[in-house]
A and B are shown apart, each in its own frame.
Chain A
Amino acid sequence: MTSTTRQQAAPSADLVRRAISGKRVDIGARAFEGVLLLSLVAALAILVTLMADVIGRGWVIYAERGVDFLVSANSRDAAQAGVGQALFGSLALMAIVALVAFPLGIGAAIYLEEYARDTPFTRFITVNIRNLAGVPAIVYGLLGLAVFVVALQDLTGPNSNGRSIISGGLTLSIVVLPIVIITASEALRAVPGAIREAAFGVGATRWETIRSHVLPYAAPGILTGTILAMARAFGEAAPLIMVGGAASFVAAGDANLWEQLFGPYMAMPTLIYNWAGLPSQDFRALTAAGIMALLTTILAVNAIAIILRNRYARRW
């Protein structure tokens, strides 16, 4: 093609069509697309198989006993055993996580994002919070054992050797704290600096700016992150095994709610762990049914997070 082309007559439609039509077969691109699709199918297949297997085994329990399984206490008798105590334990743990980890985590995030000066030390802290989020939960379990179960026994469970819901909840709070800080930080960072400038520009103080603008606009993101952290805590077994949430049997005494918080307990993941270890065939179906209850709860919590995010998502 030379510059003289310009002076020639316009090319005919036929010529143009021939030049721009046709299909190029790019084998490499096709192969790559195939590999990607295969990865997706494999991942989904594993998940579906797992779910199908669990539902196949556990469905019979719900069919035969229905709600009874969800409210019954644990028992040596497979026909009587249920997840009632474990559900209570897990919900109580969640409540403690919500009360402890969220204020602490969101507070830390606000400090890091809005108040702390950008120094090497602050960056060091931020990087280490990210590292802490990757620390295996069992390590936090050991920490909880040393601090809440042993050292603070008089506070966390004087009558249960410290192996109480309080200890478990505090341990789980530490497990999810880094996640809460990170997600809350990201939500705060997503609020444009222009909004802060606008507020400062009319004479607002830092706190007025945060309270009236930054926090409200970041709230949906913070909420989503913390709910997902909650779901993570709900499914954690390892730290609870360390701090005594793996009691096989809890006497269904007449302790009131407050006393139960300081007493022995069981939680969904640890109950499932216990049942799975029992030699009796009868507990196989119970284990599967327990997993179904656990997964349903987690899926429900995640669904709430997604709905909230979609409803309140803000575009700048």
Chain B
Amino acid sequence: MTLRTDIEPATDTDTEPRQSPTIRVMATTQLDEAEPIAPGPQRDQVGMDFAADQVVFELEALSCYYGSFRAVRDISLQIPRNQISAIIGPSGCGKSTLLRSFNRMNDLVDSARIEGRILYHGVDLYADGIDPVEVRRRIGMVFQKPNPFPKSIYDNVAFGPRVAGFKGDMDALIESSLRRAALWDEVKDKLRTPGTALSGGQQQRLCIARAIAVEPDVILMDEPCSALDPIATLKIEELMRELKENYTIVIVTHNMQQAARVSDVTAFLTMGDDRAGYLVEMAPTDTIFTRPANKLTEDYITGRFG
């Protein structure tokens, strides 16, 4: 017997102010089948549908486990191409776990496993015969804490192309990567100095340059600004807006202002009674922040919890 949270929509959608959906916790004996969460009052679904050719990731009832602990429960959503998708939610709700399942980074944790499917351009990332190394080459990652290699700036950016067997003009690739990461002007005269000697914000842009040097399709960002000051944060956000022309970006953040500032679509996750994170709703960012369909979302973005 396990507790399950179901969300019941408000019945009256005509009167103002809008009634928030009520939440009912009820006991149920079966868990595995994901019941579609009932529609909110103004939109007809929890997730968003995009045109098929615009979908980069499609999650089908994804659950992530660490050993017997379920960190993420039954998430189904789509990530659109060349847009910035933000995943927000309170601490511990599985945002990072979810993000790290997108490029099989969780494979590195012995006890981690998933249920459900993640389709990347229609291909199941966890199917037999999929090489996680090739997956990560196409789906790059920028981490919470800047983690440059204790090597020169040049070698930091060059490592990815080298292991990928890049045979072209390395110097040109380094320059273009650093330019696209808006770091070139600051480091062009000291490419041989250690990347670890840069400031925190520069280190994070170096990590972004390192990620884009292998010409990925997607860049996953796991709270990329949480260790940075506001000015460095703004620079990274500016950079993200530029990068989305060429890349699909998924960013996990616990900073709602950041999600509101940079993202095109936002997915809000929260934690159930079983401490597993689940998707409350996903919508265009301005909709989430102005007309959230779910009371939980509203409470979170107005700072009432989280």
Contacts and interface: CB of A to CB of B under 8 A. Distances in A.
Given A194-B147, A195-B147, A217-B150, A201 B108 contact: no
Given A203-B163, A203-B164, A204-B163, A198 B147 contact: yes
B256 interface: no
Contact of A202 (B108, B145, B213): B213
Contacts of B140: 201-202
B143 A205 contact: no
B141 interface: yes
B163 A194 contact: no
Interface residues of B, number: 28
A202 B135 CA distance: 10
B134 A203 contact: yes
A201 B136 contact: yes
Contacts of B143: 194, 197-198, 201
A299 to B, nearest CB: 31
Interface string B105-117: 1001011000000
Which of B110, B111, B136, B147 has most chain A Cβ within 10 Å?
A: B147
B210 interface: yes
Given A118-B110, A192-B147, A194-B147, A201 B141 contact: yes
Contacts of B164: 203
Contacts of A201: 103, 105, 136, 140-143, 211
B163 A205 contact: yes
B160 A202 contact: yes
A266 B197 CA distance: 52
A200 interface: yes
B262 interface: no
A192 B149 CA distance: 10
B108 A199 contact: no
B133 interface: yes
Contact of B211 (A202, A204, A212, A217): A202
A197 B214 contact: no
B66 interface: no
A90 B109 CA distance: 45
Contacts of B46: none
Query: What are the 9 closest A-B residue pairs judged by CB atoms, nearest first?
Result: A203-B137, A202-B160, A194-B147, A201-B141, A198-B147, A204-B163, A203-B136, A117-B110, A118-B110
Given A199-B149, A202-B160, 8 more contacts: A194-B143, A197-B105, A197-B147, A198-B149, A202-B140, A203-B160, A203-B163, A204-B163
